[in-house]
Structure 1
Amino acid sequence: MELELQTKQFKEHLDKLKNRYVENNPPENKKDKEFFLMVKEYTTPIHALLEEWEEKSLEVVKDRKVNIHPQQVTSTRENMELLIMHSFYIDAKRKRYMELNHSVHYVLDQLLRELRM
């Protein structure tokens, strides 16, 4: 199933972003154009996947194929967008970042379990 594959890819991106957050330091200048362009290039495919994932997930939720609320899907997308930026700019406290990361993983894992049933 395509949604299952997208969800697994989503989880891989989430783990890579977490590693980036943990292992890197914030940029010296947050207005550095080169840094911004690097971030944009790296995150554009993630944003595209995220948009497609949300659309497909909401379809599955509306068809009642999974026991997840539409708001969980939307919140997961929003949280992932925050994580993407925090992973590069390292501008969130560690506790907050990990809470967002855990929240996204929780919904993704729940969706994967429901899809396999």
Structure 2
Amino acid sequence: MDLKLLTSELLEMNEEILRIYKETRERGEEGDFYNEVKPFADDAKERIDRWRDMALQWMKEDRPKNLHPSQIMNTAENLEMISIQAFFPKASYKRFISHSQSIHYVLKTALDQLSKC
């Protein structure tokens, strides 16, 4: 799979996670672990791990501006974390939104750099 396409998919996934979180908070009920949380988080982890490895390799080869390996690692970790937290209405709203915005920024920056290649 192409890194540019995968980065776009993760941007969409970040939006979906935000939507799930807002719906979960409105309902005030946790998602069903085996039917909702685990399948979603497992799929997310697989894609996030693939993206992280590909992005780090790309960084070694192309040395994009305004991006550092630690940002890739943190983004992968934060995305994995909120993909689970989205199903729990008691997760801190401010922290959740902050992570989501940070993820969006790094993915968008990577996508912009990839478009220049």
Quick check: 1:36 aligned with 2:39? Answer: no
- How many residue pairs match? The answer is 111
Give per-residue Cα distances to partners, 1:36-60, cap 9 Å, x unaligned: 2121112221110000000000001
Contact 1:66–1:114 (Cα < 8 Å) also in 2: yes
Give per-residue Cα distances to partners, 1:48-88, cap 9 Å, x unaligned: 00000000000011113422110000000111111111101
Instruction: Give the 5 Å matches for 1:7-86.
Output: 7-24=7-24, 25-27=28-30, 35-38=32-35, 39-67=37-65, 68-86=67-85
Ranked by relative contact order (alpha carbons within 8 Å, sequence separation 6 or more), the top structure is 2
Alpha-carbon deviation of 1:91? 3.2
Looking at structure 2, the residues matched to 80 and 26 of structure 1 have their Cα atoms a distance apart, in angstroms, of 21
Structure 2 portions without partners, runs of 5+: none
Q: Compute the RMSD of aligned alpha carbons.
A: 1.6
Looking at structure 2, the residues matched to 66 and 84 of structure 1 have their Cα atoms a distance apart, in angstroms, of 27
Looking at structure 1, the residues matched to 47 and 107 of structure 2 have their Cα atoms a distance apart, in angstroms, of 14
Deviating beyond 3 angstroms after TM superposition, the runs of 4 or more aligned structure 1 residues are none
Mean alpha-carbon deviation: is it higher for 87-96 or for 101-110?
A: 87-96
Contact 2:44–2:80 (Cα < 8 Å) also in 1: no
Looking at structure 2, the residues matched to 77 and 9 of structure 1 have their Cα atoms a distance apart, in angstroms, of 13
One-letter identity of the residue aligned with 1:50? I
TM-score normalised by structure 2 residue count:
0.87
